[in-house]
Structure 1
Amino acid sequence: MQRQSFSPPSTDVVIVGGGPAGAAAALMLARSDISVVLLDGGQQRLAVGETLPPAVRPVLDSLGVRAQLTDEGHCASVGSWSAWGSAEPWGRDFIFNRFGHGWHLDRRRFDALLRAAARSAGARLAHASLVASEPLPAGGFRLHLAGGRHLDARIVLDASGRSAVFARQRGVRRIAVDRMVALVGYVARRPDAGAEPAASLVEATSAGWWYSAPLPQDRLIVAFMTDADLARGGGDLTDGWLDRLAGAQHTAARALRFGAGLAGPPVIVSAVSGRLERFGGADWLALGDAAATQDPLSSEGILLAMQSGIDGALAARQALHGESDALAGAAKRREAVWFNYLDERDRNYAAERRWPKAPFWQRRSPEPAQGSRHIHRTQEQRSSA
């Protein structure tokens, strides 16, 4: 008996990961009548990063989802304030911004909105995890999914977040710049609490810095950013979080005005700045956090993810139409964004000089790090060549 060859279903593009980068890419590809499958594991995960700056408006308009933000109850963000470089907060009101206000999001609802828009445009959504992958002789990849399923794709876009599942299957390493973590707590609003300004607040302390912002569903996110070794303690995580909060004058006062206590114990999530040693290869490209992650101080994580998704979709479309260097060009553009970010990160941390000998701030001092940073940049450039 003649053995039949195995031929799994195929598609033009598979996107691994259903967050903002992956959903934005799927939406743009589907609008171009390109067959695309969006793989979303469907696991419930804490998505920290709830702020959209005013500059996001053109991106939301290009995706066609800005009108739904107000309809779904996401909160307007009217400004940002920082006790950074001085004890008293300073900042800006978005009333003077040419784009108007930004937003504080319910991340699960926002991510679901983007996936629904992609599905409505014609993208196929598959609730499946990527187990393994292998290149095909004629180009593209065969993806092995949980449950024994398989899928062939001409191009793969890795939007799987910090795990960078597909890129790591290709043997690509991740380079970390720091060891930052976020200790995230949510304060529930008291029934008798007064109106809280719908603005973000950043406050530096000797061991790191705090971020707070009002969110939908009457919550206030209150997160402490520090290095992993500095976050360790022998006591209870909640007690340690509260002790640290007591040393942040403006953030503690805000939490007390807003609520009576934590809605649950704080959680620790990675906030490391890092990147893949290369952002793509033959027939694949990394997007969003899978490609690189930035310090939360930039408040641009979601915006950058969606921009990355849109640019990656354009590159994939061009590659499918015969432009052999399209994916490589997108990788180079992401490289430029990364190095610009490193320069901005140095400038931001150089502005806080109150604790020059504290470990957290000493590690981010640009003066002693210039030589090693130049070496690090050179190594990155070589690995990306």
Structure 2
Amino acid sequence: MKEYNSTTDILILGGGIAGCIAAISLVKDYNVTLLDKQLEPVDRIGESLAPAAQRILKELNLLENESDAVKQSIFRNNLGMQSYWGSNQLQIVDHMRNPDGFSKNLNRKNFEHYLRTVATERGVNCIWGTRLFTSSYEDNYWKIITKSDNVKNRITHTIYTKFVIDATGKQSHFAKSLGIKRLQYDNLISCWMSLPNTQENTMSTIISDELGWWYSSVTPNNQRIVAFQTDTDLVNRNTFKHLDTFLPFAKEYKLIQPLIESNKANIKFHGTTSANSTRLEQVAGKQWIALGDAALSFDPLSSQGMFNAMANAMQVQKLLRNFNFIEDLDSEKLEQFNAVYNHQINQVWNHYIQHKNFFYTTETRWKDAPFWKRRQNNI
């Protein structure tokens, strides 16, 4: 067994989009350590990255100067969204006139891998394949102990840090270790698969249905994602356990069936993932904050999850620079920082809830069906 000890200004737990963007934005001003339990990023459902995210990418000099091959492996521009929502009539929202350009359909795994590489290249101390074991507060420092999963050759890291950023997603491992609860507002799940795209039309698509709604988009390498969002209790669980049961379910929908026709041999089934709206009861404390999905997680209908994670990280960078309490650990500045950060998080949540409620209430064709009835009442 190997043991390592280190000291850092800022420790970021979680090497996803939120954690990496925070690390890349902070490393110019602080000694930053970034860790994640995964040795490599895992497959995640591809989302559309909002056009406004382009401003953050430019500010951090990300992607813009990369080769076409690198860009094409990470994203493809998306002209817009087509939807059958609220009626049987097709509606189209394009990004042709958006000053920030097109939205980007991501290969999420490749994007996270790219961000990890950039973080390392820019001087972030990155530790992969280790997870939070214990945390304690001693003499103005957090003492964080992490352990790798390999029992035979286990590596233990003891890290002393002035500030902890919990970017571990909905699991919010650090906040959970402090006894902070997570509030869950619905039971939405997403069952998804990926396959080669065979359609000329590559716009993203949303289709509402009595039981929930479908989402499809084309990602890099001409791969298509097809996903169905519903509540955990509305569809037989076996339907979402295997491709052989999910495929017949998908083919019942005439607008989805052409996307998967004659393509069964090339379909990769990814199963289900939680897609519900949740928030942490407390998002900031004594020299720590929760960031991105660890603080707030959004229904994918909002298409704001990844952008919020990036924007949230940039807000933290600016707040830390403005209050500058890390070097001398000024308690008054820390309290002011926490108050402003809490206010920002609450504003984001309130705007999200208004946005979410508005879009769900515009679909009235199945207002008495459980899925939609549950969403007619504001949170």
Letter of the structure 2 residue corresponding to residue 52 of structure 1 = L
1:39 and 2:35 aligned? yes
**Structure 1 gap segments, 5+ residues each:** 1-5, 374-385
- Within the candidate set 164, 173, 177, 2:172 is matched to 164
Map Cα deviations across residues 310-336 of structure 1 (whole Å, 9 max, x no partner): 112333343325432223322220111
Q: Which residue of 2 aligns with 1:286?
A: 290
Partner SS, residue 22 of structure 2: helix
Residues 262 and 293 of structure 1: CA distance in aligned 2, closer, same or farther (over 3 Å): farther
SS at match of 1:31: coil
1:142-181 mapped onto 2 (5 Å cutoff): 142-146=143-147, 147-181=155-189
The equivalent residue for 2:49 is 52
CA distance in 2, matches of 1:24, 1:248: 39
Letter in 2 for 1:244: F
- Report the alpha carbon displacement of residue 237 of structure 1 after superposing the two structures with TM: 3.3
Alpha-carbon distance, 1:354 to partner: 0.4
Q: Note if 1:21 corresponds to 2:18.
A: yes
Deviations 1:94-120 (A, max 9, x none): 112222212111111111222222222
Residues 145 and 233 of structure 1, relative CA distance in 2, 3 Å threshold: closer
Residue 261 of structure 1: CA displacement?
A: 5.5
Contact 1:183 1:224 in 2 (8 A): yes
Q: 2: distance between equivalents of 1:239 and 1:359?
A: 26
Q: What's the CA shift for 1:129? A: 1.4
Alpha-carbon distance in structure 2 between the residues aligned to 1:316 and 1:131: 27
Residue 303 of structure 1 is matched in structure 2 by: 307
2:131 to 129, 132, 140: 129
| Pair 261,361 (structure 1): closer, same or farther in 2 beyond 3 Å | farther
Instruction: Give 1:234 shift.
Output: 4.4
Do the aligned partners of residues 139 and 222 (structure 1) sit closer, same or farther apart at CA in structure 2, a change above 3 Å counting? Answer: same
SS in 1 for 2:176: helix
Determine the structure 1 residue equivalent to 2:152. none
Given residue 83 of structure 1, which amino acid in structure 2 is its aligned partner? Y
Unaligned runs of 5+ in 2: 148-154
Aligned pairs, how many? 356
**Is residue 238 of structure 1 aligned with residue 247 of structure 2?**
no
Spell out the pairing of 1:1-385 with structure 2 (5 A cutoff): 8-32=5-29, 34-43=30-39, 44-67=41-64, 68=66, 70-72=68-70, 73=72, 74-127=75-128, 128-136=130-138, 138-146=139-147, 147-189=155-197, 193=198, 196-234=200-238, 237-256=242-261, 259-260=263-264, 263-317=267-321, 318-320=324-326, 322=330, 323-324=333-334, 325-366=336-377, 370=378, 373=379
Deviations along 1:162-194, whole A, 9 cap, x unmatched?
A: 1101010111100001000000111234xxx4x
Contact 2:46 2:219 in 1 (8 A): no
Residue pair 2:27, 2:122 contacting (<8 A) in 1 also:
yes
Which residue matches 1:379? Answer: none
* Partners of 1:51 and 1:299 within 8 A in 2: yes
Q: 2:354 is aligned with what amino acid?
A: D
Q: In the superposition, relative to structure 1, how do residues 163 and 56 fare at CA in structure 2: closer, same or farther (>3 Å)?
A: same
Deviation (angstroms), 1:222: 0.1
Q: Which has the higher helix share?
A: 1
How far, CA to CA, are the matches of 1:97 and 1:250 in structure 2?
28
RMSD: 2.1
1:8: Cα distance to partner?
3.9
Please list every run of at least 4 consecutive aligned residues from structure 1 whose deviation after the TM superposition is greater than 6 angstroms. none
In terms of fraction of residues, the more strand-rich structure is: 2
State whether residues 19 and 167 of structure 2, in contact with CA within 8 Å, keep that contact through their aligned partners in structure 1: yes
* TM-superposed deviation, 1:198: 2.8
> Alignment identity in percent?
29
CA distance in structure 2 between the aligned counterparts of 1:346 and 1:302, rounded to whole angstroms: 20
Structure 1 residue 266 displacement after superposition: 4.2
